[in-house]
Amino acid sequence: MGNTNTGMGMGHRWDSRSKEGDSPNLLMDSPEDAPLKKEEYLAWGSLSGSFNNGTKKIPLTRRWVSSLGKVCICTYTDAPLQHKFYVDGTWTHDPAEPVVTNQLSTVNNVIQVKKTDFEVFDALMVYLQKCSDMSLPSRSIPSGPYIPKQEDKFKSLPILPPHLLQVILNKHTGISCDPALLPEPNHVMLNHLYSLSIKDGVMVLSATHRCKRKYVTSLMYKSI
């Protein structure tokens, strides 16, 4: 399978002098094949090429992936394939993509489909790599493994966020409150595991969960 992005347009007549076994060459009726504006390609566009012998115009449709613009899905073989775009009533090609000139001096876009391209995930990785190379500025990348500097390493554990320090275990309650009830916890404390400092060889763990408007705190005592 091959996905063709919108960029330019295609031709519709084929060179009958192509050798048997070769992909037919795509021609244009008019020698004026200057590309149109990008906005026009997004609005009007279809595709034709050697994969269907130029007998049918395949409309370009907009996909949900905005970076692809307008695309169409065609069945390709393992061979060089020529194609053109039909945009706003004119056959044209994309000068930004590889081109080839046939025996009648007509310029067509050409795409080489390899057997490895039929591996969907491998082809997708190659496409994403090309896109990232085009978006990033060119710069030299040092060879060899990356060795972090000494100052890049953490000398201690990261600091606990302040809002997680509001531990409700062993927290004093008012005289008017029921000593068996814990104060209502802050919502950021929910679903976190807390541990008290080990004292007298006992470790205490707790976790608070909420069900509707009720809070439940579970405690676990573990002898060390």
Assess whether 119 and 170 both reside in one domain. Answer: no
Q: How far are the Cα atoms of 79, 123, 152, 168, 204 from residue 207, in angstroms, in the given order? A: 63, 47, 34, 10, 11
Select the highest-mean-pLDDT range: 78-82, 113-117, 193-197, 198-202.
198-202
Calculate the dihedral angle through the C-alpha atoms of 115, 16, 96, 138, rounding to the nearest 10 degrees: 30
Assess whether 129 and 219 both reside in one domain. Answer: no
More confident site: 214 or 25: 214
Assess whether 179 and 110 both reside in one domain. Answer: no
Assess whether 18 and 108 both reside in one domain. Answer: yes
Residue 86 lies in a domain: yes
Here the CATH number for the domain that contains residue 18 is: 2.60.40.10
- Is residue 13 within 8 A of residue 24, CB to CB? The reply is no
Largest CA distance in the chain: 101
> What confidence tier does 213 reach under pLDDT thresholds 50, 70, 90?
confident
- Residues 6 or more apart in contact with residue 169 via CB below 8 angstroms: 194, 196, 204, 206, 219
- Is residue 92 within 8 A of residue 26, CB to CB? The reply is no
Assess whether 123 and 217 both reside in one domain. Answer: no
Query: Residue 145, Cβ neighbours under 10 Å: how many?
Result: 5
- Residues 6 or more apart in contact with residue 161 via CB below 8 angstroms: none
Assess whether 168 and 130 both reside in one domain. Answer: no
Residue 212 lies in a domain: yes
> What confidence tier does 54 reach under pLDDT thresholds 50, 70, 90?
low
Residue 205 sits in which domain range? 164-223
Residue 30 lies in a domain: yes
Lowest mean pLDDT among 7-11, 90-94, 163-167, 218-222: 7-11
Give the integer Cα–Cα distance in Å for 22 and 14.
12
- Is residue 87 within 8 A of residue 23, CB to CB? The reply is no
Here the CATH number for the domain that contains residue 197 is: 2.20.25.290
Mean pLDDT, all residues of the chain: 65
* 3-state SS assignment for residue 87: strand
Assess whether 32 and 123 both reside in one domain. Answer: yes
- Residues 6 or more apart in contact with residue 187 via CB below 8 angstroms: 210
DSSP track, 107-122: EEEEEE--GGGGSHHH
Assess whether 102 and 170 both reside in one domain. Answer: no
Assess whether 118 and 37 both reside in one domain. Answer: yes
Q: What is the pLDDT of residue 214?
A: 85
Residue 90 lies in a domain: yes
Residue 140 lies in a domain: no
Residue 157 lies in a domain: no
Assess whether 98 and 198 both reside in one domain. Answer: no
Assess whether 29 and 75 both reside in one domain. Answer: yes
Give the integer Cα–Cα distance in Å for 71 and 59.
9
Residue 122 lies in a domain: yes
Residue 158 lies in a domain: no
- Is residue 78 within 8 A of residue 114, CB to CB? The reply is yes
Q: Tokens representing 130?
A: 């090309």
- The pLDDT of residue 2 is above 80: no
Q: How many domains does the chain have?
A: 2
Assess whether 89 and 7 both reside in one domain. Answer: yes
- Residues 6 or more apart in contact with residue 56 via CB below 8 angstroms: 48
